[in-house]
Amino acid sequence: MDTVLLSDNEADLLKAAELIKEGEIVGIPTETVYGLGADASNEEAVRKVFEAKGRPADNPLIVHLADFSQAADYTRFIPEIAYKLAEKFCPGPLTMVLPKNDKIPMITSGGLDTVGIRVPSHKVMHRIIELSGRPIAAPSANTSGYPSPTSAAHVMRDMNGKISAVVDGGSSEFGVESTVISIESESAVRILRPGCITKEMLEQVCSEVIIDHAILHELEAGQKAASPGMKYKHYSPKADIIMVEGDLESFIAYVGRNNGEGVYSLIFNSDSEVFPYRNMTYGKDSSEQAHLLFQRLRELDDAGAKKVYVRAPETNGVGLAVYNRLIRAAGFEVIRI
């Protein structure tokens, strides 16, 4: 199959929407990362998404809508607190897990009776949903297990020949996937996957915000994941990623002792003046780290990195999302010095 690169003009967006209506898969830009979009109500189309990504069948897809008011068409029940959250954070990088109805086939929800609903803010994505008139299922457009794509070029790299088209909507604003939450009660939510809608932001609406244990810890054998995505190794480039927690001085000493061929470090911008070994920088604060992380992980592979020591980010605010992706990329290998 030839994968066509489309631009963000209206004629091309119409083409993308037509392809989705016909049951094809299209790489589409969102404000978080690029997605592999398909008609969420079309089982055959959704099957192709799982195939293109090589994704396990029990890992559910998020359904993207043009407006939160449409969530009622695909769910059995929407708690009041979900409307309050939607008022504040939709459109934007928030996914709410809600009880699904029959319009969402089981293949889309990975066999669960719930569905993750998200209203993206990216104008191109929004327009494609509108023009297609369909709920759009879209996982991140990477090969399963590899870092998520934050540009059309990344999607082309992973999906060329496997999908009908990719729409180029520029570089993704946030760079990490949406915050996924489940609703525990009319005053409490649980973060299943951290993102740029942070715990602190959710606390403006909910009196209790629980951080699911699986966000920072490896699941024990036999333990059930609240979010199936949490049980798989993720975001991993070919290079071996090792997270190192400690101050800059100890980090430099540690890398010095372990330096060798193919060894890189992923450091903060502020470290770069004094850091003496081969490195890439990934930003000056958590938001910039989120924006750059996946791109850097791909660039490290391109540079031929074999082993990458990463300075651990903070775990508050958006930092929790960055830390969560890194700890998975590292297969939970963290060194505390």
Q: Which residues sit at the interface with ligand TXA, rule CB under 6 A? A: 30, 32-33, 35, 59-62, 93, 95, 97, 109, 112, 114-116, 118, 138-140, 177-178, 180, 192-193, 227-229
Q: Which helix (H) or strand (E) holds 21?
A: helix 10-21
Residue, CB closest to Mg ion? 140
Query: Quick one: tokens of 9?
Result: 């003009």
Q: What is the Cα–Cα distance from 205 to 200, expressed in whole angstroms?
A: 10
Nearer to Mg ion, 42 or 140 (CB): 140
Judged on CB neighbours under 10 Å (0-12, 13-18, 19+), 188 is middle
Residue, CB closest to ligand TXA? 229
Q: Which does 109 bind (CB under 5 to 8 A by kind): Mg ion, ligand TXA, none?
A: ligand TXA
Nearer to ligand TXA, 255 or 329 (CB): 329
Q: How far is the CB of 227 from ligand TXA (least distance, A)?
A: 4
| 328, 234 contact by CB (below 8 A) | yes
Q: Which does 178 bind (CB under 5 to 8 A by kind): Mg ion, ligand TXA, none?
A: ligand TXA
**Number of Cβ within a 10 Å radius of residue 51:** 11
Q: How far is the CB of 129 from ligand TXA (least distance, A)?
A: 11
Q: What is the Cα–Cα distance from 300 to 303, expressed in whole angstroms?
A: 5
Stretch that binds Mg ion, among 132-140, 159-167, 239-247, 292-300 (CB under 5 A): 132-140
Nearer to ligand TXA, 61 or 266 (CB): 61
Torsion of CA 41, 45, 50, 51, to 10 degrees: 170
Q: How far is the CB of 7 from Mg ion (least distance, A)?
A: 25
What DSSP assignment string belongs to 219-236? PPTTPPPSSGGGGS--S-
For residue 140, state whether it binds Mg ion (rule: CB under 5 A). yes
Nearer to ligand TXA, 109 or 151 (CB): 109
Nearer to ligand TXA, 35 or 319 (CB): 35
Query: Quick one: tokens of 152?
Result: 């059309």
Q: Which does 192 bind (CB under 5 to 8 A by kind): ligand TXA, Mg ion, none?
A: ligand TXA
Q: What is the Cα–Cα distance from 39 to 2, expressed in whole angstroms?
A: 20
